[in-house]
């Protein structure tokens, strides 16, 4: 379970929610859901999943599924999560947790905006579109 940012304290309710989330993420059921998500991706796209920010490889062992919403935690829809490599997932959380403004706009919206911004930055650095 991630610790609160320095200088912040979490309420008992927040601690309980974070504990429940950590327990879910460590469960065999979550690992089965990740496998099902990967299979659904392959069926839908005909390719292995990849990081939606940098395009790098995503695997069940080495990739993360970032929750765009916690509304259906434990019963996630395919679109509730996105595939990210660990470095891009860490970067997304650094940005999302950098200011309360991201939390105020809602997790799904904030995630989508940050992912789009990071993907554009990555493409620009890699010279994509420099035809």
Q: Output the DSSP codes for 73-130.
A: TTS--GGGEEEEEHHHHHHHHHHHTS-HHHHHT-HHHHHHHHHHHHHHHHHHHHTTT-
What does the alpha-carbon distance between residue 36 and residue 129 come to, in Å, rounded to a whole number? 34
Asked if residue 20 lies in contact with residue 58, where contact means CB atoms within 8 angstroms, the answer is no
Give the mean pLDDT of 105-116: 96
| Residues 20-48, mean pLDDT to the nearest whole number | 94
pLDDT of the residue at 29: 94
Most distant pair of Cα atoms in the chain: their distance: 54
Q: Considering only 25-34, 74-83, 94-103, 113-122, which range has the smallest mean pLDDT?
A: 94-103
Q: Which two tokens stand for residue 48?
A: 């292995």
- The residue among 47 and 129 whose pLDDT is bigger is 47
Each residue of 74-94: pLDDT tens digit? 999 999 999 999 999 999 999
Cα separation, 99 vs 77, in Å, equals 28
Nearest residue to 18 (alpha-carbon basis) of 41, 2, 38, 39: 2
pLDDT exceeds 50 at position 131: no
Give pLDDT, residue 11. Answer: 81
**Does pLDDT of 17 surpass 90?**
no
The reported pTM is: 0.84
Q: Hey, where are the domains in the chain?
A: 28-126
């Amino acid at each position: 379970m991630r610790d609160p940012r320095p200088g912040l304290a979490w309420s008992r309710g927040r601690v309980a929610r974070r504990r429940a989330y950590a327990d879910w993420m460590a469960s065999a059921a979550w690992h089965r859901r990740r496998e099902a998500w990967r299979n659904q991706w392959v069926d839908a796209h005909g390719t292995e999943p990849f990081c939606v920010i940098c395009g790098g490889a995503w695997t069940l062992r080495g990739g993360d599924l970032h929750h765009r919403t916690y509304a259906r935690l434990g019963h996630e829809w395919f679109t509730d999560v996105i595939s990210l490599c660990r470095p891009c997932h860490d970067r997304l959380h650094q940005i999302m947790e950098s200011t309360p403004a991201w939390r105020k706009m809602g997790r799904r919206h904030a995630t989508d905006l940050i992912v789009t911004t990071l993907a554009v930055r990555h493409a620009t650095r890699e010279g994509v579109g420099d035809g």
